[in-house]
Amino acid sequence: MTAPADTTSAARGTAATPALEIRDLVVRYGSGRKAKRLPPAIDGVGFDIAPGETVGLVGESGSGKSTIGKAVLGLHPPASGAVRLHGQDVTRLSLKQRTSLAADLRVVFQDPYSSLNPARTIGQTLVEPLRLMGVGAAEALVRARKGLESVGLPADAVDRFPSQFSGGQRQRIAIARALVCDPKVVVLDEPVSALDLSTQAQVLNLLADLRDEHGLAFLFIAHDLGVVRFLAQRVVVLYRGQIMETGPVESVTQRPRHPYTVALTAAAPVPRPAEQAARRAAREALGVGSAGSAQPAAAGCPFAPRCPLATGICVEQRPPLRLVDDSLTACHHAERVPAL
């Protein structure tokens, strides 16, 4: 069971046309009968991102965050469901058809050291997508220089190689490469997790400024709720390919209504030792099981084997997303979840 198609928009109280729509998305790995017998990597996920909005996609390793990003980018075909870019269904477009979307849908990957070709100059890297779009060589170089300046790097960096830049500078170059085509939607796949804390803050501030300046829609994939809280307006919490909770970032992180969100929030580091200790105590008091707990029943809540509030209905029936306070929560016992 999944949320109705317009649930996320209804929860936000907006009728704006989404920049990106994901509807009842199901993604499986492998092929044949064996793949169909295994639980899907993504199971009925749906949400929207409005122009100028950042939606954070969070969860533990293996929750399906990057798989959703791959489905949006066309790197892994969904088994069912739909991905729409400004209302156009792009779910099953061929590689040739997707080239026409190159300017509207871009990505920034996690590792700034491996995402740039060390044998090519920065200018060659930034010019390439523009040339594929039919932009002339002279104009492409001008746009590459402006793109570097927009992320706080000198225009003459076009003549240098990736090895001549630090990790934070390389990630700025990766952002410039994503934005040089003037996209409408950008998938940010753990864009700051490989950076030190001070550099993380600089890159996050840069992303926020660029989003606000250009009205960009960001799908921000991360495992750290603290980082998501800094950049995102809304958050989608994933566990085993299903949405556990979604809503305004402040509501989800400050007043979580799902036991899994409570565990994630309590585990996120904060700069105040007293608050960190209180969160750790709340997590321990809740009694959430370890990630290696028993496999969930196919029909029930995937978090049930780890959940201290689980009852028979949690094992037998998958909870629908329902509005509790300001968030949509897939929990039969959301009203019993203790506050942080």
**pLDDT one-digit tens code per residue, 184-224:** 999 999 999 888 888 899 999 999 999 999 999 999 999 88
Out of 20-24, 36-40, 122-126, 252-256, least confident range: 36-40
Report residue 340's pLDDT band, with 50, 70 and 90 as the boundaries: low
By CB atoms closer than 10 A (0-12, 13-18, 19+), residue 248 is middle
pLDDT at 4: 41
pLDDT at 10: 41
Report residue 47's pLDDT band, with 50, 70 and 90 as the boundaries: very high
Which distant-in-sequence residues (6+ apart) come within 8 Å of 96 by Cβ? none
Q: Is the pLDDT of residue 225 over 50?
A: yes
pLDDT at 198: 85
Higher confidence at residue 286 or residue 226? 226
Q: How far apart are the first and last CA of the chain?
A: 29
Q: What is the average pLDDT score of the chain?
A: 87
Q: Specify the long-range contacts of residues 125-129, CB closer than 8 Å, at least 24 apart.
A: 125/173, 125/177, 126/158, 126/173, 126/176, 126/177, 126/180, 129/102, 129/177, 129/180, 129/181
Percent with pLDDT over 70 in the chain: 88
Q: Which CATH class is domain 7-104+183-255+327-333?
A: alpha beta
Report residue 165's pLDDT band, with 50, 70 and 90 as the boundaries: very high
pTM: 0.88
pLDDT at 2: 42
Which distant-in-sequence residues (6+ apart) come within 8 Å of 188 by Cβ? 107, 108, 207, 218, 219, 220, 221
pLDDT at 282: 64
Residue ranges of domains in the chain? 7-104+183-255+327-333
Q: Is the pLDDT of residue 36 over 90?
A: no
Report the pLDDT averaged over residues 57-66. Answer: 92
pLDDT at 23: 97
pLDDT at 102: 75
Report residue 14's pLDDT band, with 50, 70 and 90 as the boundaries: very low
Report the pLDDT averaged over residues 78-82. Answer: 94
pLDDT at 71: 94
At position 21, the amino acid (one-letter code) is E
pLDDT at 284: 67
